[in-house]
Structure 1
Amino acid sequence: MSLPAIQKTHLALAVMAVVAATAQAEEALPATQATLLDQVTVSATRTEQTLDSVASSVDVTTADDIEKRMVNDIDDLVRYEPGVNVTDDGRTGAGSFNIRGMDANRVKITVDGVDQAKAFDSTKMFLRSQRNFIDMESIKAVEVVKGPASTIHGSDAIGGVVAFVTKDPADFLKPEGDDSYASLKGGYSSADSAFTETGTLANRNGDLESMLIYTRRDAKETQTHSGADVTGDARGEADPKDIGINNILGKLQYQINDAHRVGLTAEWRKQNSDTDLKSLVGTQPQGNPSPYDKFEADDSTERKRLGVFHEWEAFTTAFDTLHWSLNWQESETNQITVDEMKVNTGGKLKPVWETQARNKDYIYKETSWQFDLNLTKELDFKTANHLFSYGLAFERKEQDNLNKTTYVQNPADEKNDIGRYAPLATVDSVGIYFQDEITLLNDRLTVTPGIRYDSFSPKTKTDQYYTTEVKDQSYDNWSAKLGAVYKFTDVISGFAQYSQGFGTPDMFAMYFEEKVPGIVHVKPNPELKPEKSDSIEVGLRANGSLGSAELTFFYNQYDNFIEQVYLGKSNTYPVAGIYQYQNLDDTKIKGVEFKGNLWLDEAFGAPVGTSLKTAIAWSKGRGTLTDANGNLLEDEPLNSIAPLTAVIGLGYDAPSENWGGELMWTLVAEKDKDDISQNDTASDETGPNGDQYATPGYGIVDMTTYYKPIKDVTLTAGIFNIADKKYWKWDDVRGLSSTYEGLNRYTQPGRNFSVSVKWEI
Structure 2
Amino acid sequence: MLGFTPESFPPILILRRTMKPQPHPCRSPLHLHALAFTSLLACALPSPALAQSTASAPLPSMVVSGSMQEQPVDDLPQSIDVITAGQLEEQQSQSLRDALQDLPNTSVRTAPARLAVGASSSAFARDGNTGINIRGIGGNRVLMTVDGIRMPRSYVSRSAIFDREYLSLELFKRIELLRGPASALYGSDGLAGVVNFVTLDPQDFLGEDRTLGGRVAVQYGSEDDGKLLAGTLAGKASESAQWMLTAQLRRAHAPKTMGDNDAPDSRRTRANPQDDGDQALLAKVVLSPGGGQRHVLGFEHVNRDSDVALLSSRTPQPSKPADVLGESSRYDAARNRITWDARYDVASGWADQVRTIVAAQQGKSRRVGTSDLNSGVHRVRDNRYQERLWQLGLQAEKVLRAGEWTHRLAYGAEYTRNHISNLYDGLAPLAPDVFPLKRFPDTRESTSALYLQDETVWGDWTFTPGLRIDHFAIDVTSQSGFYPPAAQPGKSLSKAAVLPKLGVLWRASSEWSLFGQYSQGLRAPEPGQLNDHFEAVVPGARVVIQPNPNLQPERSRGLEIGARARLERLKLDATAFVNDYSNLIVDAEFIQEVGTTRYFQSVNIGRARIHGFELKGSYDWGVLGQGRLSSTFSWGMARGKNRETGQPLNSVDPAQATLGVRYDTAPWSLWANLRYRQAKRPGDIDNSAIFNSKPDVQFATPSFTTLDVGGQWRLAKDTRLNLAIHNLTNRKYWLWSDVYGQSASSAVLDAYTQPGRSLRVSLVKDF
Aligned mate of 2:357, from 321, 325, 328: 325
Q: CA deviation at 1:466?
A: 1.2
Aligned mate of 2:379, from 346, 354, 358: 358
What is the TM-score with the length of structure 1 in the denominator? Answer: 0.88
Query: Stretches of 4+ moved more than 4 A in 1?
Result: 12-15, 18-21, 31-36, 92-95, 226-233, 413-416, 605-608
Question: 2:653 aligned with 1:674, yes or no?
Answer: no
The aligned counterpart of 1:312 is: 344
Alignment of structure 1 residues 90-101 onto 2, 5 Å: 90-91=112-113, 95-101=130-136
Q: CA deviation at 1:699?
A: 0.6
Question: 2:387 aligned with 1:387, yes or no?
Answer: no
Unaligned runs of 5+ in 1: 1-11, 22-30, 343-353, 625-632
CA gap of 1:282–1:227, structure 2 versus 1, over 3 A, is closer
The aligned counterpart of 1:727 is: 733
2:175–2:195 Cα contact (<8 Å) kept: yes
Distance 2:545 2:167 in 1: 32
The aligned counterpart of 2:472 is: 456
CA gap of 1:387–1:19, structure 2 versus 1, over 3 A, is farther
Alignment of structure 1 residues 268-417 onto 2, 5 Å: 268-282=301-315, 290-342=322-374, 354-407=375-428, 417=435
Q: CA deviation at 1:370?
A: 0.5
Distance 2:414 2:631 in 1: 42
2:720–2:763 Cα contact (<8 Å) kept: yes
Aligned mate of 1:110, from 145, 163, 170: 145
2:265–2:314 Cα contact (<8 Å) kept: no
CA gap of 1:519–1:78, structure 2 versus 1, over 3 A, is same
Paired residue secondary structure (2:286): strand
The aligned counterpart of 2:629 is: 610
Q: CA deviation at 1:232?
A: 11
Distance 1:84 1:503 in 2: 20
The aligned counterpart of 2:532 is: 512
Aligned mate of 2:620, from 599, 621, 625: 599
2:462–2:505 Cα contact (<8 Å) kept: yes
CA gap of 1:490–1:154, structure 2 versus 1, over 3 A, is same
Distance 1:476 1:588 in 2: 23
Q: CA deviation at 1:230?
A: 9.0
Alignment of structure 1 residues 140-159 onto 2, 5 Å: 140-159=173-192
Q: CA deviation at 1:669?
A: 1.1
CA gap of 1:661–1:258, structure 2 versus 1, over 3 A, is farther
1:185–1:759 Cα contact (<8 Å) kept: yes
Q: Deviations over 1:29-82 (max 9, x none)?
A: xx995459x311211222323222211111100111110111111011112112
Distance 2:406 2:219 in 1: 49
The aligned counterpart of 2:28 is: none
Distance 2:553 2:336 in 1: 29
Q: CA deviation at 1:487?
A: 1.0
Q: CA deviation at 1:710?
A: 2.2
Aligned mate of 1:39, from 51, 55, 61: 61
CA gap of 1:455–1:49, structure 2 versus 1, over 3 A, is same
1:228–1:747 Cα contact (<8 Å) kept: no
Distance 1:289 1:433 in 2: 60
Distance 1:475 1:554 in 2: 28
CA gap of 1:178–1:172, structure 2 versus 1, over 3 A, is closer
Q: Deviations over 1:382-421 (max 9, x none)?
A: 13111111111111100010000313xx99x999621000
1:14–1:594 Cα contact (<8 Å) kept: no
Q: CA deviation at 1:284?
A: 11
Q: CA deviation at 1:91?
A: 2.9
Question: 2:75 aligned with 1:53, yes or no?
Answer: yes
CA gap of 1:18–1:253, structure 2 versus 1, over 3 A, is farther
2:185–2:451 Cα contact (<8 Å) kept: yes
CA gap of 1:283–1:302, structure 2 versus 1, over 3 A, is farther
2:419–2:443 Cα contact (<8 Å) kept: yes
CA gap of 1:155–1:709, structure 2 versus 1, over 3 A, is same
- Does 302-311 or 578-587 show the bigger shift? 578-587
Aligned mate of 2:226, from 179, 182, 194: 194
Paired residue secondary structure (1:222): coil
Q: CA deviation at 1:449?
A: 0.4
Q: Deviations over 1:545-603 (max 9, x none)?
A: 21310111000100011113222145xxx86322221211221001011001111107x
Distance 1:569 1:639 in 2: 22
What is the TM-score with the length of structure 2 in the denominator? Answer: 0.87
Aligned mate of 2:600, from 571, 579, 585: 579
Question: 2:668 aligned with 1:652, yes or no?
Answer: no
Distance 1:19 1:546 in 2: 16
Q: What amino acid is aligned across from residue 673 of structure 1 in structure 2?
A: P
1:226–1:749 Cα contact (<8 Å) kept: no
CA gap of 1:607–1:295, structure 2 versus 1, over 3 A, is same
Q: What amino acid is aligned across from residue 364 of structure 1 in structure 2?
A: Y
1:454–1:476 Cα contact (<8 Å) kept: yes
Paired residue secondary structure (2:206): coil
Q: Deviations over 1:153-192 (max 9, x none)?
A: 11320111111111111111122x4510132211100011
Aligned mate of 1:420, from 414, 438, 444: 438
Question: 2:726 aligned with 1:736, yes or no?
Answer: no
The aligned counterpart of 1:6 is: none
2:213–2:766 Cα contact (<8 Å) kept: yes
Q: CA deviation at 1:151?
A: 2.2
2:422–2:440 Cα contact (<8 Å) kept: yes
The aligned counterpart of 1:567 is: 591
Q: What amino acid is aligned across from residue 449 of structure 1 in structure 2?
A: P
The aligned counterpart of 2:119 is: none
Distance 1:336 1:567 in 2: 31
Q: Deviations over 1:100-136 (max 9, x none)?
A: 1111111111111111111112332xx1111000100
Question: 2:563 aligned with 1:525, yes or no?
Answer: no
Alignment of structure 1 residues 459-474 onto 2, 5 Å: 459-467=475-483, 468-474=488-494
Alignment: residue pair count: 701
Distance 2:155 2:425 in 1: 17
Q: Deviations over 1:431-467 (max 9, x none)?
A: 1110011111x2x111110010111122212343112
Q: Deviations over 1:195-220 (max 9, x none)?
A: 10011100012221100011000000
Q: What amino acid is aligned across from residue 335 of structure 1 in structure 2?
A: R
Question: 2:156 aligned with 1:121, yes or no?
Answer: yes
Question: 2:252 aligned with 1:252, yes or no?
Answer: no
1:497–1:538 Cα contact (<8 Å) kept: yes
CA gap of 1:32–1:519, structure 2 versus 1, over 3 A, is closer
1:216–1:245 Cα contact (<8 Å) kept: yes
2:491–2:530 Cα contact (<8 Å) kept: no
Distance 1:14 1:634 in 2: 45
The aligned counterpart of 2:502 is: 482
The aligned counterpart of 2:168 is: 135
